[in-house]
Amino acid sequence: MAVNTTFERPDSQLVADLAAMGAATLHESMGQRGALPHVIKPIYPGMKVAGPALTVDGQPADNLMAHYAISLAQPGDVLVLDYKAYLESGPWGDVMSTAAQARGVAGLVVNGCVRDAESCRDMGFSIFAISTSMKGSNKLLPGQINTPIVIGDIRIAPGDIVVGDDDGVVIVPREEAAKTLETARARETKEDEIRQQLKAGKTTVELLNLEPTLRSLGLM
């Protein structure tokens, strides 16, 4: 088992600029890549998170490594916990959220469940999870911290940029971040132009050049 206590973090302004684009736009800007499984959602609508990933490879029903990870976190980090989509335990609750907030952690993404959801919401700590489970966890088993993990089919390395909102969570590889931001900004500009043309009376069939496809299907 491996525990790396440090990793290279991206520039905070770059993180903020990517967060402003939104998860869906970033996903599209990377060629429809980077989206975590759709079941990982904010536990309450309106939660947002953005920051470098501090990764934890834990074992189901045991949160020892999550506690250790909180102690290693730096302000702005997002804890990304892989609990193998196990749904019969909530390895994170309001005590851990309090500990994480005290260290400046930006939020949590967990491939699994959490508990004390209402308390976590009320303290303003953003959590993205599959669901909730009131069942507790042990604190006995080893795991890995700040090594690459895979959730769904998405590889997440420590320092990759996590952006989450009501659409879900997207992972932007650190080495692709600047290019992704450039592409996302261009996409936003183009979509703003499309919105203006729609308001002026154009249709999406016209603007997206859908007529050839519709004709080929015998629909026009």
Task: Report pLDDT digits (tens) over 4-51.
Answer: 777 899 999 999 999 999 999 999 999 999 999 999 999 999 999 999
Domain limits, CATH 3.50.30.40, in the chain: 12-174
Per the structure block, which two tokens stand in for 218? 């015998």
CA 46 from chain center: how many Å? 14
Mean of the per-residue pLDDT values of the chain: 96
CATH of the domain spanning 12-174, picked from 3.40.228.10, 3.30.70.660, 3.50.30.40, 3.10.20.600:
3.50.30.40
Global pTM value: 0.94
Please provide the distance, in angstroms rounded to a whole number, between the alpha carbons at the two ends of the chain: 61
Calpha distance 19→107 (Å, rounded)? 13
Calpha distance 50→52 (Å, rounded)? 7
Band the pLDDT of 1: cuts 50, 70, 90: low
